[in-house]
Amino acid sequence: MSGNPAGAIQAKSPFHKYWVILSTRTQEDMIYRANYVFGAVFRFLPLVTTIFLWYAVYQARKAGGAPSSIRGMSYEDMVAYYAFMYIARGFSSVPGTMSDISKDIKDGLLNRYLIKPMSYFGYQVMYRLAHKLVFWYIALFTFPPIFLLMRHFFTHLPTLWEWLAFFASLVIAFSIGILFCFMIGTLAFWFLEISTFLFVVMMLEFFMSGHLIPLNILPASLQPVLSLSPFGYEGYWPCVILMGKVPQDQLLRVLGIGLLWVGVFFGASQWMWRMGLKRYSAVGG
């Protein structure tokens, strides 16, 4: 019996090491799945406040003789929008990524990754994707009962094309989310302390993604900019696509712009990484 272990290792796919990262991290997160269950359920508690808040707004408009909708958004649409936002942000939000990357750079912890035969960006993608897989595994059991209780708010039945566009938009949402966080995190190559900057950036991203308020009810003068912004793909566009607020002949255009931003962010992130490594002093670690 003969064999070549070294050759067997070399014969493995280049993706194998990233699969190991993904599977290992997924198994680690599954140990704390109870945390995910409680997180998935209790994250809907703020939605209760939102429902009553917008109910008061629409009732006040009705009492004052104003139209029953705001920029084409009825009360049911508004609640459905915020409910769908939990799905969209569940894909685009990658908490801790910016701060973890900046910490690796500042503290010299990046050394441990640079000496390994893998991409640091690829590592971060797999690491964050594992979190998403566990989160959505739990969400498949916790979200449906909540959405079932809210079913009377969902007045639109999506078509097949809207479902396909919605799922494509979620992939775009995750891509833009991780790429943007990677870019901001690598600013630590140039700046020693970026915590305040991170806070400002996250607040702007939170607002421009439509998480705080639907982008289509903001002033008309802002719509041309907001409609082309990459951050709308982290929340707003997946929601309005599923709600049928995007004409079907515009779906490909909307997705095309999102994919264009993914390409721009990917190119920018790789350029910043290469330029940053030239400045990296590798102190600590």
Q: List helix spans (H) across the chain.
A: 5-11, 16-31, 33-42, 45-63, 75-92, 97-106, 111-114, 120-149, 160-185, 195-208, 223-228, 236-242, 251-279
Structure tokens, 198: 């991170």
Number of neighbouring beta carbons within 10 Å of residue 183: 20
Strand-pair partners of 73: 70
| 112 band by pLDDT with thresholds 50, 70 and 90 | confident
Cβ-based neighbours of 168, under 8 Å, separated by 6 or more:
255
Q: Where exactly are the structural domains of the chain?
A: 14-279
Kindly state the average pLDDT of the residues 114-121. 88
Kindly state the average pLDDT of the residues 186-197. 84
Number of neighbouring beta carbons within 10 Å of residue 179: 24
Kindly state the average pLDDT of the residues 123-142. 86
Cβ-based neighbours of 137, under 8 Å, separated by 6 or more:
none
Closest CA to 283 of 186, 185, 192: 192
Phi, psi dihedrals of residue 73, rounded to the nearest 5°: -105, 110
Kindly state the average pLDDT of the residues 142-171. 93
Q: Are 102 and 188 in contact (CB under 8 A)?
A: yes
* pLDDT one-digit tens code per residue, 228-254: 899 999 999 999 999 999 999 999 999
Question: Poorest-confidence range of 13-17, 65-69, 163-167?
Answer: 13-17
Residue whose entry in the numeric block shows the structure tokens 């709600």: 243
Q: Are 90 and 139 in contact (CB under 8 A)?
A: yes
- What DSSP line would sit under 196-215, residue for residue? HHHHHHHHHHHHHTTSSS-G
